[in-house]
Chain A
Amino acid sequence: MGTGTWKVKTGLAQMLKGGVIMDVVSVEHAKIAQEAGACAVMALERVPADIRAAGGVARMADPTVIEAIMKAVSIPVMAKCRIGHFVEAQALEALGVDFIDESEVLTPADESHHVWKHDFKVPFVCGCRDLGEALRRIGEGAAMIRTKGEAGSGNIVEAVRHMRAVTDSIRKLANTPQGELMAQAKEMRAPFELVAEVHKAGKLPVVNFAAGGVATPADAALMMQLGADGVFVGSGIFKSSNPEVRAKAIVEATTHFQDPKIIAEVSKNLGEAMPGLDMKQIPTEELLASRGW
């Protein structure tokens, strides 16, 4: 009987597909998310928009908050550790969280190395901006990938850029002759075996969600039509004027992403979306997506 196997790790990610994973900072939020139909929650101390506003060093959440949320809901609970902070990851595993997000939203602890995720029994999700970055994280043991987007911005443009970058590269790789795969691996700085696997399968070996800037039902459906397996919503729900209604609308738009009538219907009377940021308003050194490699 095997626990923590690759099959079991990637299998949980497969069960989350077609669903919405919502950032929550309290038991009350977590219950709203579950009631709205979220397939999992991300337990945090602050949503990315508040982390961005607060500045300073952002770390793993207080375990008290995470445990309270784990007790309050029956859906899977995820939590974030800093990039490369394998001890925060060990602590989160000891708490029994269902998934760890090694996240650029928190301040990186290591500028050279991400966590060696094969050492853990709990699965990890990691952000990426392109296929090379996705395959480096999978090589380190990530059982699920998401776009980085730009967390806390309320602007979908970066998530779209990253999702298109990944799917374009997959399409190209699928049509690359066998003899050119090694050069491709060198160019995208990715493990050769994984490059060869993507070439053969024409898709990523793990589930790929969209994240970083989803604020409306149409944003969620856009990412799904661009090929995402599901959606993370960070600040987009609880920074809006009516979280209960917006959360449910984003869940429905994610399921019915190919049905414009339903998307139009669920987009009615949602109140104010979270305030958004133009990318030009964010100083380069404050871009979260450029954290990690």
Chain B
Amino acid sequence: MKIGVLAAQGAFVEHIDMLRQLKVDTLPVRLPRELAGLDGLIIPGGESTSISKLMLTYNLMTEVKNLAQSGLPIFGTCAGMILLAIQILDSDVAPLGVMEITVSRNAFGRQRESFETELSIPVLGEKPFPAVFIRAPVIKQVNGKAEILAKLADGTAVAARQGKLLVSAFHPELTSDLRFHRYFLDIVSGSRESGG
């Protein structure tokens, strides 16, 4: 199994480290040719405007969109979630538009509102997940085939799945908890056909 991590900008090294801990072959992706032969792709946290502009300039937008539509499993965290959405509220960032969710950027406010909390994510088991939200987005609306995997206490949706696409508004890669990445690898290997 080989998983690429988009390395345009952001916390991609953290994802690569986690995948290595899970004994998975991994490589950073900065150019379209580096997408060849991948079994899955992670789009990391970072600045979504910065990442999307670099993806556009180097022809990654169309390539990644085509791969997503032809069934490549993709996991997006924070900025990655924003880029996978079909709609971003109050923003001129052009997303990949492959996952049927509507997201809002910087939904909690600025950095002083960034926070960490223990989150219940039923598909990962009973033990709460340490969730770090940094100038985080939220899922405002789930349309069609996407299903919500986790909510904050006030009901705000912060993780979702649609087939082989997985997103979180928080950063599993900033913790030592490997469960979210393992769940993605299960999607890649086909052992998790649906949520649950």
Contact = CB atoms under 8 A, between A and B. Distances in A.
A139 interface: no
A39 B9 contact: yes
A37 interface: yes
A14 B47 CA distance: 11
B127 interface: no
A14 B30 contact: no
A222 interface: no
Contact of B116 (A5, A121, A259): A5
Given A34-B49, A40-B47, A3 B112 contact: yes
Nearest to B13: A17
Interface string B31-74: 00000000000000111011001100100000000000000000
B112 A37 contact: no
B117 interface: yes
Nearest to A6: B116
Contacts of B10: 15, 17-19, 39
Contacts of A38: 50
Contacts of B30: 255-256, 259
Contacts of A98: 110-111, 135
Q: Which of B12, B46, B49, B112 has the largest count of A CB atoms less than 10 A from its CB? A: B112
Interface string B121-152: 00000000000101100000000000000000
Contact of B111 (A17, A76, A254, A255): A76
Contacts of B156: none
B14 A99 contact: no
B178 interface: no
Contacts of B109: 96
Contacts, number: 118
B115 A17 contact: no
B166 interface: no
A75 B49 CA distance: 8
Given A15-B78, A39-B46, A74-B49, A121 B112 contact: yes
A244 interface: no
A53 interface: no
A12 B50 contact: no
B193 interface: no
B7 interface: yes
A245 B171 CA distance: 33
A12 B134 contact: yes
A74 B134 contact: no
Given A96-B110, A98-B110, A74 B91 contact: yes
A251 interface: yes
Contacts of B11: 14-15, 17
Contacts of B50: 19, 37-39, 75, 251
B176 to A, nearest CB: 11
Interface of A: 1-5, 7-8, 11-12, 14-19, 34-40, 70, 74-76, 93, 96-99, 121-123, 248, 251-252, 254-256, 259
21 contacts: A2-B115, A3-B115, A4-B112, A7-B174, A11-B114, A12-B135, A15-B134, A17-B9, A18-B7, A18-B10, A19-B47, A34-B49, A39-B9, A39-B46, A39-B47, A74-B105, A75-B49, A75-B50, A96-B110, A97-B111, A255-B9
